Copies of this chain bind each other. A is one copy, B any other.
Amino acid sequence: MPNITLYLIRHGLAGEHGSYANDDERPLTEEGKQKTQQVAKRLHALNLRLDLIMTSPLVRAHQTADLLLEAKLSQALQVSPYLAPHGSLDQWLNWFQQERSPEVTTLALVGHEPNLSAWAETLLWDESRGALSLKKAGVIGLTLPEQSPVGNSALFWLTPPRFLL
């Protein structure tokens, strides 16, 4: 069976926490949009192409995913509640193993910290110890076996946006 390539991408720079009555609606700042656009262009130049982008429904994540689509990294976007701050890796893994179309072998998840780096650690080591630093608009790249990815995945990339600008 082929391995799956999974990118975990943190949303770009957003307004201050508490600046919106409903934190789910807090958008990217102008600087956040620009930097995320630059990162998306660089990812395209590095030949990153995705069968699917899944995003957290929160505005700052959805905007980040839209910028990845605009940069032509993918043509498919799916909003997933599992990627919201209250979502869980177990829920997403259930989707991954039960509902994912078999043609989807390269995909990106756009979401939040500390979730994404904790998910990565769990896929790599079967536990999370807070040892991965994922900046806003940063990227983690993992290779997952289709069966039993928890504790059996490999990390081939982790980058802050400053090395992509």
Residues of A participating in the B interface, judged by any CB pair closer than 8 Å: 46, 124-125, 129-133, 143, 151, 153-160, 162-163
Measured between C-beta atoms, what is the minimum distance from A143 to chain B in Å?
7
CA distance A124 to B46 in the complex (A): 28
Q: Could you tell me the distance between the alpha carbons of A154 and B163 in the complex, rounded to whole angstroms?
A: 17
What is the bound-complex CA distance between A125 and B125, given in angstroms?
9
How close is A21's CB to chain B, nearest CB, in angstroms?
A: 34
Q: Which residue of B lies closest to A152 (CB)?
A: B131
Cβ contact within 8 Å between A143 and B133: yes
Complex partner residue of A154 from B131, B153, B155, CB under 8 angstroms: B131
* Interface residue from B124, B129, B153, B157 paired with A159 (Cβ < 8 Å): B157
CA distance A10 to B46 in the complex (A): 21
Q: Which 10 A-B pairs have the closest CB atoms?
A: A124-B131, A133-B156, A158-B158, A133-B154, A132-B155, A131-B154, A46-B163, A125-B125, A157-B159, A131-B155
22 A-B pairs, CB-CB below 8 angstroms?
A46-B162, A46-B163, A124-B129, A124-B131, A124-B132, A125-B125, A125-B131, A129-B151, A131-B154, A131-B155, A132-B154, A132-B155, A133-B143, A133-B154, A155-B158, A156-B158, A157-B159, A157-B160, A157-B163, A158-B159, A159-B159, A159-B163
Residues of B within 8 Å of A125, CB to CB, are 125, 129, 131
B-side contacts of A155, CB under 8 Å: 131-133, 158
Which chain B residue shows the least CB distance to A156?
A: B133
